[in-house]
Amino acid sequence: GESVGLHLPTLSVQEGDNSIINCAYSNSASDYFIWYKQESGKGPQFIIDIRSNMDKRQGQRVTVLLNKTVKHLSLQIAATQPGDSAVYFCAETNNNDMRFGAGTRLTVKP
């Protein structure tokens, strides 16, 4: 079946380093791919999205890359800070529903 999944369940990085969180998807019909951040005790927070006809989009300290050839999505966080520690979810949507990956826990070491 079609699904959204993550390559790694946990990621630990040193403060100041760049982080890369990966996601694989299988639904070619999705219109948008989205990244969310969820901190403990809170709901997911929208970070950035990318439309299916794009391959790169940049935000503040974050970049999302979409490789449709291999159905891969990644989130790059520059100069990772302790406040970036959270669970990161990728999601895909075709305006009918939104399907989430399992999540990657990012831990930033001081």
Partner 1 sequence: KAGVTQTPRYLIKTRGQQVTLSCSPISGHRSVSWYQQTPGQGLQFLFEYFSETQRNKGNFPGRFSGRQFSNSRSEMNVSTLELGDSALYLCASRPGSGQGGSAAQYFGPGTRLLVL
Residue ranges of E strands in 19-61: 19-25, 32-38, 45-51, 56-58
Nearest distance from C-beta of residue 17 to partner 1, angstroms: 27
Find out whether 88 and 106 touch, Cβ atoms under 8 Å. Answer: yes
Among 29, 19, 32, smallest CA distance to 74 is for 19
Nearest distance from C-beta of residue 47 to partner 1, angstroms: 9
Give the contact letters, 33-72, x = binds to partner 1 (CB under 8 A), - = no: -x-x----xxxxxx--x-x---------------------
Q: Summarize as ranges the residues that interact with partner 1 (CB under 8 A).
A: 31-32, 34, 36, 41-46, 49, 51, 89, 91, 93, 95-103
